[in-house]
Amino acid sequence: MPTIKDVAREAGVSIATVSYVLNNKVDAVSEDTRQLVWEAVHRIGYTPNVTARNLRSSQSRLIGYAWHDTPHEQVNPVLDQFMYSLAHFAETAGYHILTFTYAQQDPVHVYDDLMRSGRVDAFVMSGTVMDDPRIQYLMERTTPFVSFGRSNPDWQFDWVDTDGTAGIRRAMDYLFTLGHRRIAFAGWDDASLAGKHRLQGYTDAMETTHLPIHDGYIYHGTQSEQAGIDAMTQFQSLPASIRPTAVVCVSDLVAIGVKNEAERLGLDVGKDVSIIGFDDAPMLQYLRPPMTTLRQPLREIARTLIEMLEAKLGDSASGGKRVPRTRLLTPELIVRESCGRPRG
């Protein structure tokens, strides 16, 4: 079996140089030398002893990520897409993702166990809420972590998030250009931070354009198709003179419910009522008509989180401190056929 000495001989470099490359110490060698070493590794079929390397560096090279178990009717394909991108960029940086679950009634226990046992070097969070006990626990113990999502404004930690407020504003501006003035919003309940940010985009747009938000224009529900059905029922119960000609939805799943109920009521989606979702779930392009939506920059979010985590782990190893980084990324409006000019 080839050894590190064989790699050094094949590449024409020292054993120390090979060790620097295998341990991803990018400042110690040039890019040309790194390429030379990796070519030699692949050429002779050398396989590093990962366990031994990790013991020497006191690192597991594993990043913990909690996998969310959602009810069948509240499917969330966005986190599935995010998970793939996260694993990809983690592996590019020399890490792997360790997925786990936690009990809702005691979310902290498994984080404590994984960190104390040394099975992970850090965590990536998602599905965050106000007063999130997981974030509070990790901050108090200075455990390295980054988050896809925000929490309390005064908590200082590294996070990346989709700018839901700016995204909904973009959707509203598009509807304004089509001529819509009676626009409703199908959202989540008040417990959702993302839902609040997206609702803020709707109210900001209506107020900036000096358009009235009539009673019944805003619906609060769950992440489900049924919530969209109930929202559309509410909107259609309003007097004809103020009945919405367009609906902006907090998610694609809710938008599908709005669309299904609109069609059940005999409305022509894209003509009688325009609908915009949020997330760009893969199935939306196959609906009839295909759904206009906002696409979250999931690859960019995952890449940025891993870069933040690398910097954070480097600072922890050197004993350095830095100001937490935060970043908001605006989603892209994907225009399809579920929107059109209002009749009349």
* Distance in Å from the first CA to the final CA of the chain: 78
d(CA 217, CA 172): 14
Q: Is 33 exposed, middle or buried (0-12, 13-18, 19+ CB in 10 A)?
A: middle
Q: Cβ neighbours of residue 253 under 8 Å, at least 6 residues apart?
A: 74, 75, 76, 223, 224, 225, 228, 281
Query: Residue 159: CA atoms inside 13 Å, Cβ hemisphere, count?
Result: 22
3-state secondary structure at position 10: helix
d(CA 303, CA 89): 6
For the whole prediction, is pTM greater than 0.85?
no
Question: What's residue 33's pLDDT?
Answer: 87
> How crowded is residue 133: how many other Cβ atoms within 10 Å of its Cβ?
12
When the candidates are 1.10.1740.10, 1.10.260.40, 1.20.210.10, 1.10.1740.110, the CATH number that belongs to 4-48 is 1.10.260.40
| Apex 66 CA angle, 125 and 77, nearest 5 | 85
d(CA 13, CA 33): 8
The two tokens of residue 52 are: 């031994």
Block mean pLDDT (10 aa), the chain, length 344: 85 86 70 85 74 51 80 66 91 90 86 86 91 93 92 94 97 98 95 93 97 97 95 97 97 96 96 96 88 95 94 66 84 96 87
Q: Are strands 293-295 and 274-276 parallel, antiparallel or unpaired?
A: unpaired
Question: What's residue 152's pLDDT?
Answer: 93
Identify the architecture of domain 62-162+298-330 in CATH.
Answer: 3-Layer(aba) Sandwich (3.40)
**CATH 1.10.260.40 spans which residues of the chain?**
4-48
**CATH 3.40.50.2300 spans which residues of the chain?**
62-162+298-330, 164-296
Question: What's residue 55's pLDDT?
Answer: 41
| Apex 75 CA angle, 258 and 115, nearest 5 | 145
In 3-state terms the chain splits into helix, strand, coil percentages (rounded to 5) of: 45, 15, 40
Class of domain 164-296: alpha beta
Report whether 297 contacts 128 (CB < 8 A).
no
Report whether 108 contacts 131 (CB < 8 A).
no
Question: What's residue 184's pLDDT?
Answer: 98
The 10 Å CB-count burial string (b at 16+, else e) for 185-206 is bbbbeeebbbbbbbbebbbebb
The secondary structure of 230-282 as a DSSP string is HHHHHHHTS-TTT--SEEEESSHHHHHHHHHHHHHTT--BTTTBEEE-SB--G
Torsion angles phi and psi, residue 121, rounded to 5: -90, -25
